[in-house]
Structure 1
């Protein structure tokens, strides 16, 4: 177990160093570096406690107690700015760290005015000066962690809708890995809640150090986010989305009444769009975006989004990929000597995984199953 903790601590600081020395680092790289440094210090504090350093150096006691309050806000801000193009953190976002500041201000009396002997006594439970505060802090930490996990997950879900509206592909802009990060942090706080409630409220006695479960998940999270965080680029750095791009559901057609495109004009433009798709086949471009297709019709991305949602009742992602699927089926029936992947790439898809996922979503079968039924 000691080796695992040392590895997690070293990796946290090492990845933070790599991120800070990364060329052309983005704001998200800096946020992630700060977060990993916080995790590293948090793990180090717990490790020192476990090997008895708090007895030798009692002034370390409590120094990392409010640190769990940092994980939720840093998760939220990292996700938020992974989905934006900002170069600086907005002033209002610093308010997320208010609970941490309040906790340290309240504990300042303990840090600066308690003797080493008094700190040891408090750590052993012989002094109850901060017992109520410790309970409140624990409750706030658990609520904060779970609340930020839910809030951040909702943020990524909303943004996934925007991706589907604006892009016809997922490679390089997928936020699935962020979903996994959010679930990992949520699992940390959920596990902590279950363990603490079971142990303190119901008197459950674990045959092992249950805290290890929480910290092992954190260490696993460090390995995961370190790998993806280093190589991840800002989703919209090279593919900016208009800020006023609609995020409403396709079926809410009422939103278009005052948009400048009447029903008749929208129908005409939709027919023109269908002609372009049949004659020019722009969907064969694996990087086709809403703005790229809008340029062919000489209209704005907002207007094209309106037309597709209103006339086809689907988002841009599914609309374009439906054409790619039909193109693949057509090619597969004519060119049986080529592999399915080769035909998929020739039809506008840019990876095997996205092709299989999209095909099954639209047809309900895998490509091979669908083709075998046609024979």
Structure 2
């Protein structure tokens, strides 16, 4: 138990220091730094309670009780500001922390009017002044955590769709790790729910402190965030937030693009892809291609969706896969990776993932089958 809390507190403070010392801090950096500090304080408060210090210093009782209300909003706001480039925190976002303010407001009499002995009795459950409040808080914590996890996941899904509609290579914009982190937070609150049902309803006699499960999972989520932040996503170093607000393709739902013109532009698009091969540029975006066709990004997105039944990412990568196959037949002495890079892919992992998605098999399996057919 000591090990879990020590690792968690140290990790949170370490990440907090990295974030506050980061140059050119963005809003997500500030959000994550505050979140790490809040978790560190929450873990510290819980740990000293387990060690018996609340009994010795009863004025510490309840100081961090509302802190779990930080988890859901911080997760949601971190994702929101990571995928949208805002220069400052919006006023309405402060409303996410209203439950924390209301909780502390309700606890004011406890903090300032109860004696040390009265606080001990409340903490031990011998005085039921805050019994209903405690039950409501637990229910609200769980509801908050699960609700914000769902909202965060939906927002991330919409963002990924926007990326697929605007970028031909999205490896540097991949946020699957963040989806995993959201699942981890959601699983944490689901576990809390199950443990509470087992402890309070079924009355399962746990041979250990059951809340330790929650804190162990919380520390695991923190370490996961740190791993991806340091190894892959540059959370703790300088990075650029890509603004996709102006790239939303919802506008073509009320498009003024005429059907005849759309058909002509689609033919021009196919001719362009076949003859000039713009897809060979790894950094090709929807706006780049739209400019070559003298179209708006919204209209080009509409044409690709309407005529090809694909998003921009799949449409471009379809040509890259076919380009690779042609090159592999002609230049079999080159490695698959070299041919893939020449075909417009920007990495081996992206190439393999796209090829399997397009053809249902790996590149080597596909080419082996092609060679057997030819022979």
Which range, TM-score by smaller chain?
over 0.9
> Structure 1: any 5+ residue segments left out of the alignment?
248-254
1:191-230 deviation per Cα after TM superposition (whole angstroms, max 9, x unaligned): 1000011100110112222211111111111112123346
Kindly state the Cα deviation for residue 164 of structure 1 after the two structures are TM-superposed.
0.6
Kindly state the Cα deviation for residue 176 of structure 1 after the two structures are TM-superposed.
0.7
**Correspondence for 1:309:** 305
2-side partners of 1:44 and 1:192: how far apart?
19
1:17-36 alignment runs, 5 A limit: 17-36=17-36
Equivalent of 2:314 in 311, 315, 318 = 318
Q: Kindly indicate whether residue 263 of structure 2 is the aligned counterpart of residue 267 of structure 1.
A: yes
**Correspondence for 1:37:** 37
Structure 1 residues 301, 239: CA separation in 2 closer, same or farther (over 3 Å shift)? farther
2-side partners of 1:176 and 1:257: how far apart?
28
**Correspondence for 2:171:** 171
1-side partners of 2:76 and 2:60: how far apart?
29
Would the aligned equivalents of 2:355 and 2:362 in 1 still touch at CA under 8 Å? yes
**Correspondence for 1:250:** none
Kindly state the Cα deviation for residue 127 of structure 1 after the two structures are TM-superposed.
0.8
1:216-365 alignment runs, 5 A limit: 216-229=216-229, 231-232=234-235, 237=240, 239-241=242-244, 243=246, 245-247=248-250, 256=252, 259-365=255-361
TM-score (norm 2): 0.94
1:42-93 deviation per Cα after TM superposition (whole angstroms, max 9, x unaligned): 1111111111111121111111111111100111100111110002111111
Q: Kindly indicate whether residue 147 of structure 2 is the aligned counterpart of residue 144 of structure 1.
A: no
2-side partners of 1:256 and 1:115: how far apart?
65
Count of residues in correspondence between the two structures:
368
CA root-mean-square deviation: 1.9
Structure 1 residues 351, 53: CA separation in 2 closer, same or farther (over 3 Å shift)? same
Would the aligned equivalents of 1:29 and 1:229 in 2 still touch at CA under 8 Å? no
Structure 1 residues 263, 142: CA separation in 2 closer, same or farther (over 3 Å shift)? same
Would the aligned equivalents of 1:54 and 1:61 in 2 still touch at CA under 8 Å? yes
2-side partners of 1:238 and 1:102: how far apart?
34
Structure 1 residues 191, 257: CA separation in 2 closer, same or farther (over 3 Å shift)? closer
Bigger Cα displacement from structure 2, 138-147 vs 352-361: 352-361
Kindly state the Cα deviation for residue 257 of structure 1 after the two structures are TM-superposed.
7.7
2-side partners of 1:159 and 1:193: how far apart?
30
Bigger Cα displacement from structure 2, 256-265 vs 130-139: 256-265
1-side partners of 2:11 and 2:92: how far apart?
31
Would the aligned equivalents of 1:85 and 1:237 in 2 still touch at CA under 8 Å? no
Would the aligned equivalents of 2:162 and 2:247 in 1 still touch at CA under 8 Å? no
Structure 1 residues 165, 2: CA separation in 2 closer, same or farther (over 3 Å shift)? same
**Correspondence for 1:70:** 70
**Correspondence for 1:84:** 84
Would the aligned equivalents of 2:29 and 2:235 in 1 still touch at CA under 8 Å? no
**Correspondence for 2:95:** 95
**Correspondence for 1:118:** 118
2-side partners of 1:106 and 1:257: how far apart?
48
> Structure 2: any 5+ residue segments left out of the alignment?
none
